[in-house]
Amino acid sequence: MEIANKKAVIVGGASGFGRATAEALAKRGADVAILDRPQSKGQEVADGLGLTFYPVDVTDFTGTEQVLQQAVDALGGLHIAVTTAGGGTAERTVKKSGPHSLDSFRSSVDLNLIGTFNVSRLSAWHMSTNQPEDDERGVIINTASIAGYEGQVGQIPYSAAKGGVIGMTLVAARDLAPLGIRVVTIAPGMFLTPAYPVPAEQLEAHWGPQIPFPKRMGQPAEYATLVTSIVENDYLNGEVIRLDGALRFPPK
């Protein structure tokens, strides 16, 4: 799919992977809408890139449907949807104070898995109305994590949710194949994004030496480069692509 003149929605586009992706797609000539939390820097980022910002909390599933509809109406269609919203907290299954909080588990699944599926299903519906271009109507790119394969101690909710995103990739691609809509998931390793409440230098010093090659943490622009490659390569479908420098998480 050619990127120029396509309509794209980036969920989580105010920072990190999403911001880099919005910038990359816009530079290639796509018409891009940024969706992110109301308290994010979404408006500032959108203004800087000459794009449009729509505030939304992806765990508000009804609200997400309404905001996505607004964005698609303003864009005049939808060809590319990228979901990058996510996050998690560390908590062991059993602690000194008792078992893992069920509420925190549900919250993580709502954010990382159900929120991703909600945007995917709604995006696919909008894409299904497109006129096909070389038999293709759209591409959905979701974000998992290598924690979905080898989660660390305390990552049960996050790993379970990201594992769910990984697991639904092939099924979604098969479901949507008759409509000419592709589904691909990126599973990043350790990247320097604002998601971590730790200074970048400290993160780099800890993780850089553990990554086989290159011996550094990833940059959001490298995620965005993969997004543009997926959009342009029509034969990438139903695949989960690890973007991790060959890192495999240790237990801790």
Among 54, 149, 158, 196, the one annotated catalytic:
158
235 labelled catalytic: no
Tell me how far apart the alpha carbons of residues 183 and 188 are, in angstroms, rounded to a whole number: 16
Altogether, the residues listed in the chain come to a count of 252
The label of the residue with tokens 């230098």 reads 201
**Torsion (CA) 33, 34, 37, 39 in degrees, nearest 10:** -110
The residues that bridge with 181 in the sheet, in sequence order, are: 138
Q: CA 127 to CA 188: how far, in whole Å?
A: 26
Burial of 202 (0-12, 13-18, 19+ CB in 10 A): exposed
User: Which residues have C-beta within 8 Å of that of residue 107, sequence separation ≥ 6?
Assistant: 59, 157
Angle at which helix 61-75 crosses helix 115-127, to 10 degrees, equals 30
Indicate which residues carry an active-site annotation: 158
